[in-house]
Amino acid sequence: MEERKAMPLLGDEFPSLKVQTSRGILSIPEHFKGKWFVLFSHPGDFTPVCTTEFVAFQKRYEDFKKLNCELIGLSVDQVFSHIKWVEWIKDNFNVEIEFPIIADTGQVANKLGLIHPGKGTNTVRAVFIVDDKHKIRIILYYPQELGRNIDEIVRVVKAMQISDKNGVAIPANWPNNEEFGDDVIIPPATDEQTARKRIEKANQGEFKCLDWWLCHKKLK
């Protein structure tokens, strides 16, 4: 029996892989040098939920590209199946899939932890969000029966980029948080002096605080 590998963890460098795709052989993450990318697996071509997901990903492809982020799909189907499925989507939805799809023999799925025996032998709906330094920033797993919310994947890519650029944290449901709207969170103070200064700065109008450990502000 082939040994199953532990899945990569947040903060790990994405493993170097040479893969056959619907757009030729690619080396990842090197192919996406200088860019973020979303690698997402699906259980199988020519299946209803996967088809709706691919249409949804394509319809938001421009939103990802505006964030300097590319897409790449994956399943254990052969490349011939990927090509025919993409043609079928074009014919029936008038949507042309512009991103590559990995035709995996099982090697990639095994390395990334995409096969969950308790859910069958197909790849689950996994999402790996990788930054422009090839670091894994977000991992999401869904069962076969539940389609993903693609708007949420766009949101978290944008949120992580804002967090990196501004040194802030992102509240729940951002940018529509029930209490703070589109404000971002200032990381809490880690010493007494900084905690006191937080309240002083809040009183001066630099940002708002409910307490020294919960401060928020608008992005400039």
Check: CB of residue 147 under 8 Å from CB of residue 42: no
Q: Which residues are catalytic, by number? A: 50
Sheet holding 208-211, edge to edge: 184-186, 214-217, 208-211
CA torsion, ordered 79, 85, 87, 88, to nearest 10 deg = 160
Distance of alpha carbon 124 from alpha carbon 50, whole angstroms? 11
Provide CB contacts within 8 A for 92, sequence distance 6+.
Answer: none
CA gyration radius for the chain?
20
